[in-house]
Amino acid sequence: MTSKATTWSDSTLISLQGSVPGINVAIDPDTGIPTLTFPDGYDPSDPSFYANPLDPENGDIARVLRIQYRPDEVETSEDMAKIDADFEVNSAFLRSIEVGAQYRRSGSLRYSGGVNASGTAIPDEDGHVVPTPYVSIDVLLGDEDSPFTPDTYGNWVGQQIVPQETWNSFLANSTATMPFTFFPTGNRTGLLDSWLYPTFDGLESLVDTSMFNHSRLREVNGVAQIPTQDITENIYAGYVKANLAFDLFGMPVHGNIGMRYVKTNDRAAGAQRTLDPNADVVDVVKLAEMRNSYTDWLPSANFSFELIPNQLIAFAGASKVLARPRPSYLAPNLRCNISEDIDGANTCSAGNPDLKPYRADQYDLSLSWYPNKDSLFSAALFYKDIKSYVINDVTSYGVDLFEDGVLYDVTRPENGTGTKITGIELTAQTAFTFLPAPLDGLGFQANYTWAKAKDTRLTNQLTGEALPYPYLSRHSYNLIGYYDKGPLNLRVAYNYRSKYLRDQADRSGNAVFNDATGYLDAKLTIRLRNLLNSSFFIEGKNLTKETERITAGDIRLTSLEYAGRRFYAGFTVRF
């Protein structure tokens, strides 16, 4: 079996720069949310406020527009071959044996904007200066027209000067006011409802857009661009499993024991470059390739015990599990910036091809009660002994990265070790079929999970306090109510999770947390069986307008995100 997919995407950013004289910004001491106070008479939808910005950046020339175009291609592929066989045994306790083997080769190749150059004369290892495929043009306001021209290497990165008349015409014909209210939820004190934004329709009248394409994304003039990532993973696996069924003191027991062998070979390639504004000679861009290999034996055992046949079931399971890192984490990309300030920090961002996978020993116990065919009540206990896991964006300070005495603050994904997670899960569900019609279509489902990690070996880099396991909420639950009878199916769901750790540290060393969230969704489906076996549905997401609040400290707000209250409608036909 072979599969291949290529995803093309384009990112075109046009930012309009205006001026707001006398604006006042205050931070709410309770929430960390900024409150803006605008001067009297300020109207963000009035083009005159963008026509002649104050505080020009370069003498009498002010930047009024920034245009960026970034092409992107991601090509993923997978080749797989597998064989499975079952052997019936039907002995006193051994019912069958399953064996199998699998080979899988997956690839992820990405070109994103080009890394051989960023508008400067940065050569690759062979001395070629390959023009970047992305476009970045600053439009400045001046006395006369000075069109943008690419540099001698063909980079479309630079600036263009336009006179006041041209700029006024662009504002009048190629801008619009946002048709919706900005951030329409929560406390909006001091927030703008809307403002002027540039449209794409009139962009060609202002700048040359002929290079807004993918023509230089993979190669230019016969010289290859360096990919953002080029990752190949080869996996060799085999397994054997014995299926068991027997009576234990008159109690029916079903289960299986097995072993899985997995060998993983990774090859990752990416670009490495150092930008030193103080150097006489700019370092070259290098293509780095690294390999990693690891082997795992993954035993498992699962048994169910019918304490009361078909009514009260106990389950016990134990296994070793494995989950591989994201391909993007493995790319050996390295981008370093040397500070112009002698006292400033040199920084690097990088991937980590030496990442170990998520590995854990996990154990599960549960007891399930089926009082009737429509109901289930269960309680489960789980324990995970996590040997290794991946933490994204870990910053190590003062690293002699190239063993040349120059120190860098390096941010990259790294492995965490030694965490143990204990948890409880409770589940209840039933259909009220015993109620009189039409109420016999009602039902509900609910589950609650409590989880706690210890020995994470993660600490707050500023305070030394112990940190929780990343992305693990102490409390989470789901509540679902539904009606399903005849042509109607109505489902209302609410899911909640408590506060959790996102990142061990931001650039300042502060731990980053995501506040608790709760989302309410609903969907109504009407079945039209007499009309081509079709159905119509309407669906609402985030009906309570929930936001995602991310903080680095009690009131140090990092991000406040609102994905919107979304509605969908659809029609399906089954043949």
Q: Assign 3-class secondary structure to 1-45.
A: CEEEEEEEEEEEEEEECCCCCCCEEEECCCCCCEEEECCCCCCCC
Q: How far apart are CA 97 and CA 241, in angstroms?
A: 6
Regarding predicted confidence, which is higher, 194 or 362?
362
| Token duo for residue 267 | 């090859």
Kindly report the number of other CB atoms within 10 A of residue 419's CB atom.
22
Determine the pLDDT at residue 259: 98
- Least confident piece of the model among 154-168, 244-258, 418-432: 154-168
Highest mean pLDDT among 328-332, 365-369, 533-537: 365-369
Average pLDDT over residues 230-254: 95
Q: Give backbone dihedrals phi and psi of 229, rounded to 5 degrees, phi first.
A: -155, 145
* Residue 190 neighbours by CB under 8 Å, 6+ apart: 26, 34, 35, 36, 37
Highest mean pLDDT among 86-90, 149-153, 275-279, 348-352: 86-90
pLDDT at 503 over 80: yes
Indicate the pLDDT class of residue 555, thresholds 50, 70 and 90.
Answer: low
pLDDT at 436 over 80: yes
pLDDT at 525 over 70: yes
DSSP letters of 100-133? EEEEEEEEEEEEES-SS-SSS---BTTS--PPPS
| Model pLDDT for residues 109-168, shown as the tens digit of each residue | 888 865 544 334 455 556 666 777 888 888 888 888 888 888 777 888 888 998 888 888
Q: How far apart are CA 237 and CA 100, in angstroms?
A: 8
pLDDT at 388 over 70: yes
Q: Is the pTM of this model over 0.75?
A: yes
Determine the pLDDT at residue 54: 47
Determine the pLDDT at residue 276: 60
CA-based nearest residue to 393, from 324, 322, 455, 326? 326
- Let me know how long the chain is: 575
Q: How far apart are CA 95 and CA 84, in angstroms?
A: 17
Determine the pLDDT at residue 119: 37
Q: What is the average pLDDT value for the chain, to the nearest integer?
A: 85
Regarding predicted confidence, which is higher, 369 or 417?
369
- Helix or strand run (H / E) with residue 197: strand 196-198
Helices (H), 302-420: 327-330
Indicate the pLDDT class of residue 10, thresholds 50, 70 and 90.
Answer: low
pLDDT at 320 over 90: yes
Question: How many H helices and E strands in the chain?
Answer: 3, 30
Q: How far apart are CA 333 and CA 273, in angstroms?
A: 8
Regarding predicted confidence, which is higher, 453 or 553?
453
pLDDT at 56 over 60: no
Distances in Å between the Cα of 21 and the Cα atoms of 18, 50, 55, 57, 142 are 10, 12, 10, 16, 21
Task: Specify whether the CB–CB gap between 417 and 411 falls below 8 A.
Answer: no
Average pLDDT over residues 435-450: 96
Query: Would you put residue 32 in left (φ > 0), alpha (ψ -120 to 50) or beta?
Result: left
Q: How far apart are CA 420 and CA 452, in angstroms?
A: 8
Helix (H), strand (E), coil (C) string for 283-321: CCEEEEEEEEEEEEEEEEEEEEEEEECCCEEEEEEEEEE
pLDDT at 553 over 80: no
Residue burial 432-471, b: 16+ Cβ < 10 Å; e: rest = eeeeeeeeebbbebebebebebeebebeebeeeeebbbbe
- Least confident piece of the model among 250-264, 372-386, 463-477, 496-510: 496-510
DSSP bridge pairs for 294: 264
Regarding predicted confidence, which is higher, 24 or 30?
24
